[in-house]
């Protein structure tokens, strides 16, 4: 039986729903997917959070995140969960600007991934993983990185069965 961690980053609060309609989420899409995965396969759940919150206003938030992205900033995190006890890590993130968010990159750089199996999952507005698989390879030397699962953000809440089936199958 694999020793499983589920680690994710997800933005709470304002976000765009289809049609660029602004909605307020108590729980982000990736967080909801991570919880479905834990329910399906067990393991320990860890949320990555930035030490300083992004602006509440969504347009301002996107501008702040884009500025970080352009400069290659790694925002400090509240916590850097210890991955050393785990051999299999489900790693969840939203697609930001065609790859993974900078807070996730910062977390990945903090860990030793040698010999670990990483099963990524992404939620997005439609671009899926983008170039995050390439970035994952660079940031996690020595890991075995699986193809992973891509889900549309606004469909996650109604996709528990699909996500659970994917997670169980991904472990085989
Ligand atoms: C800063 C930012 C950048 C984004 N960039 C993209 C993108 O390039 N492609 C895409 O399909 N979706 C993009 N999205 C949409 C998110 O990937 C999507 O809404 C995701 O499900 C959000 O997950 P969360 O609720 O867990 O944060 C972006 C969202 C944000 C906030």
Supply the pLDDT for residue 101: 98
Give the atom of ligand 1 at the shortest distance from the alpha carbon of 152.
Answer: 21
Ligand 1 center to 140 CA (angstroms): 22
Indicate the pTM of the whole model. 0.97
Ligand 1 center to 160 CA (angstroms): 20
Binned at pLDDT 50, 70 and 90, residue 20 comes out as confident
Ligand 1 center to 39 CA (angstroms): 24
Phi and psi at residue 87, in whole multiples of 5°? -105, -20
Residue 130 CA, distance from chain mean position: 13
Residue with tokens 């347009």: 59
Q: Contact at 8 Å (CB) between 3 and 87?
A: yes
Query: Is 10's C-beta closer than 6 angstroms to any atom of ligand 1?
Result: yes
19 pLDDT above the threshold of 90? no
For the ranges 13-17, 51-55, 156-160, which has the lowest average pLDDT?
13-17
Supply the pLDDT for residue 151: 98
At a CB cut-off of 8 Å and minimum separation 6, what does 98 contact?
A: 127, 130, 131
Domains of the chain (ranges plus CATH)?
4-171 (3.40.50.360)
161 pLDDT above the threshold of 60? yes
Binned at pLDDT 50, 70 and 90, residue 2 comes out as confident
Query: pLDDT, tens digit, for every residue of 99-158?
Result: 999 999 999 999 999 999 999 999 999 999 999 999 999 999 999 999 999 999 999 999
At a CB cut-off of 8 Å and minimum separation 6, what does 134 contact?
A: none
- Give a three-class secondary structure readout of the chain: CCCEEEEEECCCEEEEECCCEEEEECCCHHHHHHHHHHHHHCCEEEEECECCCCCCCHHHHHHHHHHHHHHCCCCCECCCCCCCCCCEEEEEEECECCECCHHHHHHHHHCCCCCCEEEEEEEECCCCCCCHHHHHHHHCCCCEECCCEEEEHHHHHHCHHHHHHHHHHHHC
Query: Is 101's C-beta closer than 6 angstroms to any atom of ligand 1?
Result: no
Strands 13-17 and 21-25: antiparallel
171 pLDDT above the threshold of 60? yes
């Amino acid at each position: 039986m694999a020793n499983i961690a589920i680690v994710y980053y997800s933005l709470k609060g304002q976000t765009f729903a289809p049609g660029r309609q602004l909605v307020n989420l108590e729980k982000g899409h990736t967080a909801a997917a991570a919880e479905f995965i834990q329910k399906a396969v067990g393991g320990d759940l860890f949320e990555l959070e930035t030490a300083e919150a992004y602006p509440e206003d969504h347009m301002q938030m996107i501008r702040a995140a884009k500025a970080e992205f352009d400069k290659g900033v790694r925002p400090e995190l509240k916590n850097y969960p210890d991955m050393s006890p785990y051999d299999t890590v489900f790693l969840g993130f939203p697609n930001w600007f065609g790859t993974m968010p900078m807070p996730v990159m910062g977390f990945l750089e903090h860990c030793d991934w040698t010999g670990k199996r990483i099963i990524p999952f992404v939620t997005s507005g439609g671009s899926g993983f983008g170039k995050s698989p390439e970035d994952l390879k660079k940031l996690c030397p020595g890991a075995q990185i699986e193809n992973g699962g891509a889900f549309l953000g606004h469909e996650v809440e109604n996709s528990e069965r699909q996500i659970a089936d994917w997670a169980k199958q991904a472990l085989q």
